[in-house]
Amino acid sequence: MTAASARTAAAGAPAPARDTVLAVEDLSISVGVGERARTLVDGLSFSLARGETLCIAGESGSGKSLTSLAVMGLLPRPGPVVSGGRIRLGGVELTRLPEREMRRVRGDRIAMIFQEPMTSLNPVLTVGRQLTEAIEAHRDVSAAEARALALEALRSVRIPEAERRLRQHPHELSGGMRQRVMIAMALALEPDVLIADEPTTALDVTIQAQVLGLLREIQAARGTGLILITHDMGVVAEMADRVVVMRGGRAVETGPVGPLFAVPREPYTRALLAAVPRMGDGRRPAAPASAAPVAEIRDLEVRFPLKGGVLGRTVAEVHAVSGLSFDVPAGGTLSLVGESGCGKSTTAKAMAGLVPYRGRISIAGRPAQGLSAPERKALRRDVQMIFQDPFASLDPRCRVGDLVGEPLAIHGMGSAREREEHVAGLFGRVGLSADDMRRYPHQFSGGQRQRICIARALALRPRLIIADESVSALDVSVQKRVLELLRELQDEFGIAYLFISHDMAVVENISDRVAVMYLGQIVELGTAAQVFGDPRHPYTRRLIEAVPVPDPTRRRGAFPLLAGDIPSAVRPLGDPPARLPLVDRGGGHLVAPF
């Protein structure tokens, strides 16, 4: 199927049966036996045509990834098994293939891109070795021919300096580069079917746009059938020809992307689409300018030494943050946005006293430098953090009630009974019951665990909460509920938020003011209405243009692919940081963009 005919499917025309490369018929996946048997995927059916993009959408636990693993023959053992139905790749019945024969199919005729490339790539092997290993496993070629094919594969995904990348290890590449390596590895043998399981969830919005554009370009050139698994409905609208919406292991709605978005039949589909944050919706008025700042940051610099040579001396420095100055107003939300490596999280860690820094930080009118141990402890009552991964933030050996109450015990606040009553009140405030206090972290969903982390951050009634990518890993419906909860708590307690995210639609919906960061510096600063309604800096415009719009009728053209990585923040020892121009909307100062 050509790219044009694939797009025709988006208007409602089903793919011709003769073009079908993959057919899943009445697939069931279950775990356990006898009375303990539980069905995880129940009677799922769909087909994929050559050159078509089929998106499987739904929340965590809906069975999306299990389905993809079943198609690849990679269901974990012992564990879930295909208990019914058929999976046909062309004329081959995959569910009946022995593992030895499945290995010949996997990677050659059907390939997969996983969500996190760093966990999918072998950290001790070079990129070139991993690529040639896959090629040599399926093609009768010499080592030199395999290397030439690997080099061609890297160039096909627009990786600059491809020959040098072959000699590098995964940790030497950025997240976007590693995902491109995964795409190159999956496409090196030109499979008929490519499965991409949440391939852009952890990527910045500009890198996401480039990866999606790259997949679309390669698919059009090769006629590859693409199954894209995602919970991001903006990505679905941008990429899909047809959509399968899953819930609880079942397909609740299936159809061409245009009609499904325009007139969704099922309440669950309508709820998913309603939960998607959209650019231009829900802008909040900026916090009053007269509000006293809870946090004042002036000329903040954070540098990390790089050691080298036989003696391990410091030979260079990473200028992670350079000359940052901003305020976080009481009861307001300031968002830091930018791509990975721009210094957002480092800034947050400096404000929380977790990394050494230069410059001045004041919290609630008190300087954060030169404090004694008791003074630092008192200051930390006013600053709390909510991290990206709630499961990694909670001790799996402790009951969640004890985890939420731990800050109160550390600061000696109240008796044991008073602390328990306070924690119970916090659980009720974040939508959990007092009975939940006796459970452990693994017994909760991702959204519930993030609510527990919010309750813990609230325990000391802080003046400032730093939320570092606190909703980026959540499903859209859970994300919406967590954001609503954060707004309610802010209105009730007057808490100030420093909100860190690469999701521009979320930032616009929750922020009063926005600071756009690039290479450790702020390049544009203003109210959410100013920054999103009239962006002045070219980098800000690029970030906004990269946001996928959850509307299939507004698909973008090709997003420009960058020739390489973001410039390095590493500078020779003693070198001053390179100062970037700043668009400061608050003070009316506008300088020429770089």
Q: Domain of residue 173: give its range.
A: 51-73+101-275
CA-nearest of 301, 377, 306 to 343 is 301
**Is the model's pLDDT at 413 over the cut of 80?**
yes
Is residue 242 located within the same domain as residue 331?
A: no
Of 252, 275, 298, at which residue does a domain stop?
A: 275
**Higher-confidence residue: 305 or 87?**
87
Q: Are residues 271 and 318 in the same domain?
A: no
Nearest to 449 by CA among 499, 392, 488, 493: 392
Of 275, 304, 326, the one marking the end of a domain is 275
pLDDT of 568 reads: 65
Cis omega (within 30 of 0) for bond into 550: no
Radius of gyration of the chain (CA): 25
- Decide if pLDDT at 594 tops 80: no
- Cα 244 to Cα 236: distance, rounded to the nearest angstrom: 10
Mark whether 341 and 234 lie in a shared domain: no
Task: Tell me if 145 is assigned to some domain.
Answer: yes
**Amino acid 567: pLDDT:** 64
Strand ranges, E, within 90-214: 92-93, 110-113, 193-197
Same domain, 259 and 363: no
Q: Is the pLDDT of residue 15 over 50?
A: no
Pair (405, 454) in one structural domain: yes
Instruction: Assess if residue 131 is contained within a domain.
Output: yes
Q: Are residues 63 and 156 in the same domain?
A: yes
Is 303 within the bounds of a domain?
no
CATH number, residue 584: 3.40.50.300
Q: Is residue 510 domain-resident?
A: yes
CA distances from 415 to 401, 411, 412, 422 (A): 15, 11, 8, 10
Residue 299 in any domain: the answer is: no
User: What does the block give as tokens for 202?
Assistant: 């952890």
pLDDT tens per residue, range 210-262: 788 888 888 888 889 999 998 888 889 999 999 999 998 999 999 999 999 99
Cα within 13 Å of Cα(88), Cβ side = 13
- Are residues 206 and 330 located together in one domain of the fold? no
Instruction: Walk across the sheet containing 313-329 and list its strands.
Output: 366-367, 358-363, 293-308, 313-329, 570-572
Does residue 486 lie within any of the structural domains?
Answer: yes
Among all chains, which residue has been given the structure tokens 């430098």?
Answer: 369
Is residue 350 domain-shared with residue 441, that is, in the same domain?
A: yes
Same-domain pairing of 268 and 347: no
* pLDDT, tens only, 263-274: 999 999 998 898
478-535 residue pLDDT tens:
788 888 888 888 988 889 999 998 788 889 889 999 999 988 899 999 999 999 989 9
Q: Could you tell me if residue 94 is inside a domain? A: no
Residues 271 and 334 in one domain: no
Q: In 10 A of CB 374, how many CB atoms?
A: 8
For 235-239, 473-477, 545-549, 589-593, which range has the lowest pLDDT when averaged over its residues? Answer: 589-593
Same domain? For 257 and 340 the reply is no
Q: Are both 431 and 477 inside the same structural domain?
A: yes
Q: Which of 226, 259, 275 is the last residue of a domain?
A: 275
Domain count, the chain: 2
Q: Answer yes or no: is pLDDT of 455 > 70.
A: yes
> What is the pLDDT, as a whole number, of residue 201?
72
Residue 71 has pLDDT above 90, yes or no: yes
Return the structure tokens found at 98. Answer: 């022995």
> pLDDT at position 287, please?
58
Higher pLDDT, 160 or 524: 524
89 in a domain, yes or no? no
